[in-house]
Amino acid sequence: MSSTTTTARAAASVGNFTDERVGASKGVKFLARKIFPDHWSFMLGEVALYSFIILLLSGTFLTFFYVPSVGETTYNGVYAPLAGTRVSEAFASTVRLSFDVRGGLLMRQIHHWAALVFVAAIIVHMFRVFFTGAFRKPRELNWVIGSVLALLSLFEGFLGYSLPDDLLSGNGLRIAYGIIESIPVVGSYIAFFLFGGEFPGTAFIPRIYTIHVLLLPAIFLALIGAHLVLLVVQKHTQYPGPGRTNQNVVGYPLYPVYMAKAGGFFFIVFGVICLMSAFLQINPVWAFGSYDPSPVSADAQPDWYMGFMDGAVRLMPGFFEFTLFDHTFSFNIFLPAAILPGILTTVLVAYPWIEAKATGDRREHHLLDRPRNVPTRTGIGVMAITFYLLLLLSGGNDVIATHFNLSINDITNSLRLLVFVLPPLTFVVTKRICLGLQHKDRERVLHGEETGVIVRTETGEFFEVHRDLDPRVRWTLVQHDAQRPLELPPAEDENGVRRPGRFGDRVAYRLSRFFFEDRVEPVTPAELEAAHHEHAEPQALPASDDATTDRTPIAGA
Partner 1 sequence: MTALAARRRHPMATVVLVLLSLTVVGLIYALAAPGKATAAPASSDEVAAGKQVFLANCATCHGLDAEGRRNAPSLIGVGAAAVDFQVSTGRMPLQATGPQAPASHENKLGTDKTRQVTSYVASLGPGPSIPDADQVDPAKGNEAKGADLFRTNCEMCHNFNGKGGALTRGKYAPNLDKATPTEIYEAMLTGPQSMPVFGDSTISPENKRDIIAWVRGVNEEPSPGGFNLGSIGPVSEGLAAWVIGLVALIGCAVWLGAKAS
Partner 2 sequence: MSDGTGTDEMSTSDHPTQQVATVEHDGDAAERFENPGLPEHRSRMADVDPKAARRAERQVAALFGLSVVGTIGTMVAYFAVKFEGISGSNAYLQRVQLSNILLGSGLFLALFCIGIGAVHWAKTLMPDEERIELRHPMRSSDEDRAAAVEILQEGAAESGLGRRPLLRNSLITALALVPLPAVALLRDTGPMPGRALETAPWKAGDKLVRDAGGGPIKAADVQIGTVIHVMPDGLQETGAKLEERAKAAVLVIRLNPDDLGDAAKAGAYDGIVAYSKICTHLGCPVALYEQQTHHLLCPCHQSTFDVTKNCEVVFGPAKRPLPQLAITVDDEGYLVAKNGFKEPIGPSYWERG
Site for partner 1, residues 407 to 426, rule: CB under 8 A: 407-410
| 199/265 with CB nearer partner 1 | 265
Query: How far, rounded to the nearest angstrom, does the alpha carbon of residue 428 sit from its chain's CA centroid?
Result: 22
Collect all residues with Cβ–Cβ distance below 8 Å to 290 and sequence separation of at least 6.
Answer: 75, 85, 86, 87, 88, 91, 92, 165, 166, 167
Q: What are phi and psi of 146, to 5 degrees?
A: -65, -40
Q: Which helix (H) or strand (E) holds 321?
A: strand 321-324
| 265/388 with CB nearer partner 2 | 265
Report how far residue 300's alpha carbon sits from residue 10's, in angstroms, rounded to the nearest whole number: 59
Report how far residue 110's alpha carbon sits from residue 117's, in angstroms, rounded to the nearest whole number: 10
Collect all residues with Cβ–Cβ distance below 8 Å to 200 and sequence separation of at least 6.
Answer: 70, 170, 173, 174, 177, 291, 293
Contacting residue, 140, 443, 481, 517, with partner 2 by CB under 8 A: 481
Is residue 304 within 8 Å of 123, Cβ to Cβ? no
* Residues forming a β-bridge with 498: 492
Q: Does 289 bind partner 1 (CB under 8 A)?
A: yes
Contacting residue, 81, 460, 553, 556, with partner 2 by CB under 8 A: 81
How many amino acids of this chain bind partner 1 (CB under 8 A)? 70
| Binding positions for partner 1, 492-521, rule CB under 8 A | none
Q: Does 188 bind partner 1 (CB under 8 A)?
A: no
Q: Does 241 bind partner 1 (CB under 8 A)?
A: no
Q: Does 546 bind partner 2 (CB under 8 A)?
A: no
| Binding positions for partner 2, 335-394, rule CB under 8 A | 359-364, 366-367
| Binding positions for partner 2, 185-214, rule CB under 8 A | 185-189, 191-201, 203
Collect all residues with Cβ–Cβ distance below 8 Å to 361 and sequence separation of at least 6.
Answer: 136, 137
Residue 538: CB minimum distance to partner 2, A? 27
Sole window of 23-31, 245-253, 343-351, 370-378 interacting with partner 2 (rule: CB under 8 A) = 245-253
Q: What are phi and psi of 148, to 5 degrees?
A: -65, -40
Residue 115: CB minimum distance to partner 2, A? 17
Report how far residue 113's alpha carbon sits from residue 509's, in angstroms, rounded to the nearest whole number: 47
Q: Quick one: residue 23, left, alpha or beta (phi over 0 = left, psi -120 to 50 = alpha)? A: left
Collect all residues with Cβ–Cβ distance below 8 Å to 265 and sequence separation of at least 6.
Answer: 43, 46, 47, 50
| 144/173 with CB nearer partner 1 | 173
Contacting residue, 3, 4, 5, 294, with partner 2 by CB under 8 A: 294
Residue 506: CB minimum distance to partner 2, A? 10
Q: Does 296 bind partner 2 (CB under 8 A)?
A: yes
Q: Does 328 bind partner 2 (CB under 8 A)?
A: yes
Query: How far, rounded to the nearest angstrom, does the alpha carbon of residue 76 sit from its chain's CA centroid?
Result: 44
Contacting residue, 21, 29, 102, 456, with partner 2 by CB under 8 A: 102
| Binding positions for partner 2, 494-523, rule CB under 8 A | 499, 501, 504-505, 508, 522-523
Q: Does 155 bind partner 1 (CB under 8 A)?
A: no
Q: Does 235 bind partner 2 (CB under 8 A)?
A: yes
Report how far residue 127's alpha carbon sits from residue 381's, in angstroms, rounded to the nearest whole number: 8
Q: Does 67 bind partner 2 (CB under 8 A)?
A: no
Residue 347: CB minimum distance to partner 2, A? 22
CB atoms within 10 A of CB 109: 23
- Between CA 478 and CA 116, with CA 368 as vertex, the angle to 5 degrees is 140
Residue 472: CB minimum distance to partner 1, A? 15
Buried b (16+ CB within 10 A) or exposed e, 545-554: eebbeeeeee
State whether residue 554 is helix, strand or coil. Answer: coil
Contacting residue, 280, 324, 497, 536, with partner 1 by CB under 8 A: 280
CB atoms within 10 A of CB 308: 24
Q: Does 49 bind partner 1 (CB under 8 A)?
A: no
Report how far residue 181's alpha carbon sits from residue 338's, in angstroms, rounded to the nearest whole number: 12
| Binding positions for partner 2, 123-162, rule CB under 8 A | 138
- Please tell me the total number of residues recorded for the chain in this structure: 557
Q: Does 325 bind partner 1 (CB under 8 A)?
A: no
Interaxial angle between packed helices 375-395 and 397-404, expressed in degrees from 0 to 180 and rounded to the nearest 10: 70
Sole window of 113-121, 184-192, 235-243, 510-518 interacting with partner 1 (rule: CB under 8 A) = 113-121
| 430/483 with CB nearer partner 2 | 483
Report how far residue 464's alpha carbon sits from residue 477's, in angstroms, rounded to the nearest whole number: 23
Contacting residue, 302, 352, 371, 423, with partner 1 by CB under 8 A: 302
Q: Does 99 bind partner 1 (CB under 8 A)?
A: yes
Q: Does 98 bind partner 2 (CB under 8 A)?
A: yes
Q: With CB cut-offs between 5 and 8 Å by kind, which of partner 1, partner 2, none does residue 182 bind?
A: partner 2
Residue 402: CB minimum distance to partner 1, A? 5
Alpha-carbon radius of gyration of the chain: 29
Residues that bind partner 1 (CB under 8 A): 38-44, 47, 80-85, 98-99, 105, 109, 113, 116-117, 120-121, 124, 167-168, 261, 264-265, 268-269, 272-273, 276-284, 287-289, 294-305, 307, 396-399, 401-402, 405-410
